[in-house]
Chain A
């Protein structure tokens, strides 16, 4: 049973690496969705005995992260005319090497953190590496939609980290977090759409300047 959970953990890390090398925005959205689904199924694999409440919760996560979020994000991408590439600020090999370095650092950190024993190997390093991969997506990709993706990846990482602490979490807390993330993605989807209508682009490097000031500068 635990070997299966370990395979899932490895799969989560491979998805992190895939996110670091993928240049296509729609593939990125699907990879994040796949990671959310896999992370959502993890408690069922690690928990051992079957519980209806856990199954219900996993079903909610899989529906939201696997179907609703990708649909919202793909819709936001199409409506905002974000194009097809993620347009990274650093090269893809550099992203992969950063991810690997993050995994080495987090496996060192994970061995030093005073956490209760989990039974599933690599779950703490994997969650920390996933959080780092989310930060990488946020900082080194220029589009606003990849920032939303980065937050989702961070949420996946935090969720896996929570699993490392308690295999079974309080239902209300998790549902509240899930609702928060849902609202966040929803709002960001709308915000990206409106930004793109207002500014003709969703490049975050350009968003640091005020619209009126630019307009005055160039006399448009």
Chain B
């Protein structure tokens, strides 16, 4: 039983992750007055893509072929240390949040290398932008997790989210509110959602993430889409854990509340995308510096309590 539950949680995360882009699309369609695509659209897409034969350019090397698989593997590993509903993850040790950040960095590195390997100047441009924004997003995320570690008094992800209780919201509400805002901004930027990047755009001058994966096809593209869904799930579940700390003792109630919070985060992303315009490319670092400032303030507040 001790092994089954974390495993079941891990499989549930893997199975439910592609639901989030569907929820976002449905919320956007609701705001635009349309019916929108089915919530399960990404599952259909993944099934369709996995049956196709990939096409490879003659100039691309094995790096291009390995990129999507390596990035998906890194994200699958990152999900192993991620707590589910504030309970312990399959793997948990002191300082595993550093591993989580490095695995996210590795996934990005593999995608960027694959993009550069195509030899297309266009994809190189997207890769450069992705790296440029990561420079601003990663410190914000790292400082935020550090502040959370200070607030919970544990150095492992499962420990710091397990220590989060409604009581901490009562005494340290400013810290947690700042962290939620910071994580949400990082989520928007890391998952190429609207104020930073438009997932639907195909305008050359403004694309960031989409431009890097233009040359991937078939199962490779499926890997990338599924990896993006997993990344969205990862950030959404971190936010859900902060916003809705563990309240009841029951396994089922906690899990249901957690899933609701994750879906709520996805809906919030959809609302942001519907009511906001994209920021100018030069303004995106400002947004991420704001997230950095929020995280830094949260950390300072927590230290000087």
Contacts and interface: CB of A to CB of B under 8 A. Distances in A.
A121 B304 contact: yes
A125 B304 CA distance: 10
Interface string B262-298: 0000000000000000000000011001100100110
Interface string A97-129: 101100110010011000000000110010000
A13 B296 CA distance: 12
Contact of B293 (A3, A100, A111): A100
Contacts of A17: 290, 293, 297
SS class, residues of chain A in contact with chain B: helix
Contact of A103 (B170, B177, B300): B300
B214 interface: no
A189 B303 CA distance: 42
B174 A10 contact: yes
SS class, residues of chain B in contact with chain A: helix
A92 B286 CA distance: 8
B40 interface: no
B293 A96 contact: yes
Nearest to A107: B304
B289 A7 contact: no
Contacts of B300: 103-104, 107, 125
B170 A122 contact: no
A7 B174 contact: yes
Of the four ranges (under 10, 10 to 19, 20 to 34, 35 or more), the interface on chain A belongs to 20 to 34
A9 B177 CA distance: 13
Interface in A59-97: 92-93, 96-97
Given A100-B297, A103-B297, A122 B289 contact: no
A93 B174 contact: no
B16 interface: no
A121 B285 contact: no
B51 interface: no
B31 interface: no
Q: Which 8 A-B pairs have the closest CB atoms?
A: A10-B174, A107-B304, A93-B289, A100-B296, A17-B293, A96-B293, A6-B174, A107-B300
B4 interface: no
Contacts of B171: 3
Contact of B304 (A3, A21, A100, A111): A111
B256 to A, nearest CB: 29
Given A21-B286, A100-B293, A100-B296, A3 B178 contact: no
Interface in B168-184: 170-171, 173-174, 177-178
Interface string B160-171: 000000000011
Contacts of A14: 297
A122 B301 contact: yes
